[in-house]
Amino acid sequence: FPMAATDPQVLALAAQITESREQDIPLLLLKLKGILSSPSLRCEESNKIKQDIYDYGLTQYCLLVLKQDHSQLHGAWATAAQLAEILSHCCVGLEVKEDPEEFYKKFLPSAIDSLLVLGKRLQARFIRAIKEKEKQDFLHWFQVVTDAICWLFGGHIQLAACVLQNDRFLQLLITDDVETAIIMMSVLHNILRINSSILLHVEEETLHCVLDELVYKLSSTTNPAVGSAATKLLLLVAKHCKQLVQLFTARYKGLKGLLSKHWTGKGFDREVNQLLDLLYLEQSSGKGGMQKQHQAACIIQAAWRGFQTRKRLKKLPQAVITLQRSFRAKREQELQHLTKQKEDEALKLQMQLQRQRAMRLFHQRQLALLEVVHASQVNKYMQEVEEKSALTIQRFWRGYRARRLSHQQKQSLKEYKAAVIIQRAACKFLEKRRRRRPLSPWKEPKGLTDEQRLALQQKVDDYIKLHPASQMSEERSKELHMQAQSKLAQFVLRSRLDQRAAQRREALLAQVNTDVELLMNAPGLAETTEKDLGAFMSRSIPVATKARQTHNTMLKYTRWPWWKKLGDEFMVDDVIPDDAINTELETLFIGGRK
């Protein structure tokens, strides 16, 4: 940064822009308008501030912002138009001493090109706008941008040729819109007023495009404002460039008739008469009939070229719009796909959370019910719940499978119904036909002849000889029956004895388990009381104690949270599993009582 005395406002703004985010820079640059338009500034102070603004890179920031997408800026097109005005005011009156070639040959032409691009976009949106308020806003911003362009090449005369030879300036001039056409012709008028001989130094193609468009506007419109602006421009060109009057008479032979017939009496007769005088004066010194034909051909060619150019320029925005539409549609499709994917993931996560919440509520409800259910009924209740759950799952699965099969076999079902209808109709038709047919007389079944009867009898005899029947005496049958009855009685008696023995074993095993548990939990001899002695003498008290302990253990187990029941590692130390007791009993022998 420069070390000389710098305006504090510029220095503070440069520091603020350096520390700000990219999207906030356009709004900060708008503060330059207040700095430049201060009423207390003199000419030298204003130039010094412009020099500081350029040295600190704020002018380059304005140019970079104008090259961005203006619809993304804060304030959109209004901010872009104000920045264009600020850029032109910062460049006019600025004399760069360090590296002037960079400023005059690169920076200023780039600024002109950016302003013309901004003007083209504003013109396109003004033409497409439907609401009157939007049209007025876009027209105002377009006027601000064109004024900035005029102010810029007014301060730097060498930029007039750069503006005139720019393709975007010709695109702005070649338009059928009245308001923007009048503004662009005023810009061209300012260019010719600053440098009247500039048309002699531009390329021939550029000169012909400008003159063709002016003549076309005179021939294609009836608006007095457009006709007046075009006539004044042609008159200005003819006055300051005498060499181009001959081009008028040779290239546009019908121009005199067009001016005299269509534009006389429209409010600018003085300019029309002056232009006609110049044209007639040039024609009087011309060649004659061949020149007239040549001029007529030139006018037709000019009109045709103008039409072709305008047609091509009209198709160009449509192609760009089509490309943008396809790009936006593809981007919208991708955004919709991403949005749908995110929604599916959120829905999946939400369903998972709901499922977990439902499972947690189900477990809590189940535990609450288990607290109410008696300990001896817990297993039965759990079995009933599992059966109901299994039935519910099976019912839903069968319903889903039936619906899927029904959907898959819909066509087959339709064909089956059609076949049933056809068969029903055929059966009805055959039944009606059978009813109409007369009944046939009854016929006796044909009997067997003697030869057939003998053949059948011979076959029966041969089969009996090959497969003789086994015969058993009546005594043997009774003996087998008695043996079967005795074996059945023995089996029934033995099964009853085995069942009684198993019941006795279970009772003895329960008694042994109770005694073992009492012995394991028994207090020492020094701590023994009469109450403990009664527990060992009575058989009903140990049973009740065992039942009470089992009931308390089950109640304590049911009060555990669900996560404690997931594995054996969460068992409480004071709960002794039955497997451990059974294992210990296998190594002990305790004598019991009968």
Tens of pLDDT, residues 523-554: 777 777 777 766 666 556 666 677 778 888 88
Q: What is the pLDDT of residue 55?
A: 77
Angle between helices 132-155 and 108-128 (to 10 degrees): 160
Rounded distance, CA 198 to CA 190, Å?
12
Rounded distance, CA 418 to CA 408, Å?
17
In a domain? residue 313: no
In a domain? residue 14: yes
How far is CA 58 from its chain centroid?
39
* SS3 category, 177: coil
Rounded distance, CA 66 to CA 81, Å?
9
In a domain? residue 131: yes
One-letter amino acid at 117 equals V
In a domain? residue 266: no
CB atoms within 10 A of CB 318: 9
Q: What is the DSSP string of 283-319?
A: HHTS--HHHHHHHHHHHHHHHHHHHHHHHHHHHHHHH
Residue 491 structure tokens: 């089996």
- Dihedral (CA of 213, 216, 220, 226) sign: positive
In a domain? residue 393: no
Buried b / exposed e along 383-394 (16+ C-beta atoms within 10 A):
eeeeeeeeeeee
Buried b / exposed e along 404-415 (16+ C-beta atoms within 10 A):
eeeeeeeeeeee
Residues 6 or more apart whose Cβ sits within 8 Å of residue 577: 571
| Half-sphere exposure at residue 393, Cβ-oriented, CA atoms within 13 angstroms | 6
> Looking at residue 441, what DSSP letter applies?
P
In a domain? residue 480: no
Q: What is the DSSP string of 6-57?
A: --HHHHHHHHHHHHS-GGGHHHHHTHHHHHHT-TT--HHHHHHHHHHHHHTT
pLDDT tens-digit map of 422-446: 999 999 999 988 888 665 555 565 6
- Dihedral (CA of 282, 286, 289, 294) sign: negative
Rounded distance, CA 67 to CA 62, Å?
9
Q: What is the pLDDT of residue 393?
A: 93
pLDDT tens-digit map of 183-214: 888 888 888 888 877 777 778 888 888 888 88
Is the CB of residue 43 less than 8 Å from the CB of residue 51? Answer: no
Residue 218 structure tokens: 């005179």
Q: What is the pLDDT of residue 27?
A: 78
Residue 480 structure tokens: 């087998």
Rounded distance, CA 167 to CA 566, Å?
80
CA torsion, ordered 347, 353, 358, 361, to nearest 10 deg: -150
Rounded distance, CA 140 to CA 150, Å?
15
Helix H or strand E encompassing 356? helix 289-372
Q: Report the number of distinct structural domains present in the chain.
A: 1
Residue 139 structure tokens: 């027209």
Q: From 257, 129, 243, select the one nearest 196 (Cα to Cα).
A: 243
In a domain? residue 347: no
pLDDT tens-digit map of 307-318: 998 888 888 888
pLDDT tens-digit map of 148-179: 888 888 888 888 888 888 888 888 888 888 88
> What spatial distance separates the first Cα and last Cα of the chain, rounded to whole Å?
113
In a domain? residue 589: no
- pTM, to two decimals: 0.46
Instruction: Point out the residues of the chain with pLDDT beneath 50.
Output: 1-4, 568-594
Is the CB of residue 214 less than 8 Å from the CB of residue 230? Answer: yes
One-letter amino acid at 100 equals P
Q: What is the pLDDT of residue 72?
A: 66
Q: What is the pLDDT of residue 435?
A: 85
Q: Which CATH number does the domain housing residue 119 bear?
A: 1.25.10
> Looking at residue 446, what DSSP letter applies?
P
Q: From 157, 172, 19, select the one nearest 92 (Cα to Cα).
A: 157
Structural domain range at position 166: 1-195
One-letter amino acid at 482 equals M
Q: What is the pLDDT of residue 438?
A: 60
Rounded distance, CA 406 to CA 377, Å?
43
